[in-house]
Amino acid sequence: MRLRRASDCRLEAEPDLTHHVEILKPVPPALCLSVPANQSGGHMQILVNSNHSVDVTGSLEEHAKATVESELERFDDQLTRVEVHLNDENSGKSGPQDKRCQMEARVKGHEPISTSHKADSLNLAIDGCAEKLSHALAHALDKKLNHH
C-alpha cells in the first residue's frame, strides 16, 4: 500500500500494472482505489473515491469495478479512466435514496462525460449510474462519429 496526496489519485496507471490492485490513500477524507479495469489488455482504469461518510469495503469496490467493466466494456478502447465517486448524503442516517454515485468517464479525444444516480443502497446507486453512463457514452460517441 502506498500513501499519496489526493491530487496524486488522478495519475494514470502504468501499463505493467494490469494484474495489480493498488490502494491509494490520499489525505483524509477521500479514499481512492485504483484498479485497472480490463485484465485482458484494455487500458481503462477505474478509480473509486468516497468521502468520509462511505467506507469502501472490498466487496463494494469489487461491485463497482465489475459493474463498470460490464456496462462499459464495449467502450473499452475509447476510455482511459472511469472515476466512481460514492457519497452517503445523510452520513449514516437511513433515508430514502440518500446514497449517491457519480461516475466520470475520460474518453480519448473527447471531454469527460459524467452521470449521477441516487438510490437506497450504494450498490443500486452504482448500478443505476453505470447504466446512465453507458447510455450517455453511446449518445456522445454516436454523435461524434456522425459529425466526422
pLDDT at 27 over 80: no
pLDDT at 6 over 50: no
Q: Is 48 helix (H, G, I), strand (E, B) or coil?
A: strand
d(CA 41, CA 62): 19
Query: pLDDT category, 79, cuts 50, 70, 90?
Result: very high
Query: pLDDT category, 42, cuts 50, 70, 90?
Result: low
State pTM to two decimals.
0.69
Angle at 42 between CA 50 and CA 32, to 5 degrees: 15
The predicted structure's pLDDT at residue 91: 73
The predicted structure's pLDDT at residue 119: 95
Mean pLDDT across the chain, nearest whole number?
A: 76
Judged by average pLDDT, the poorest of 39-43, 75-79, 82-86 is 39-43
pLDDT at 131 over 80: yes
31-56: average pLDDT? 68
Start-to-end C-alpha separation, the chain: 44
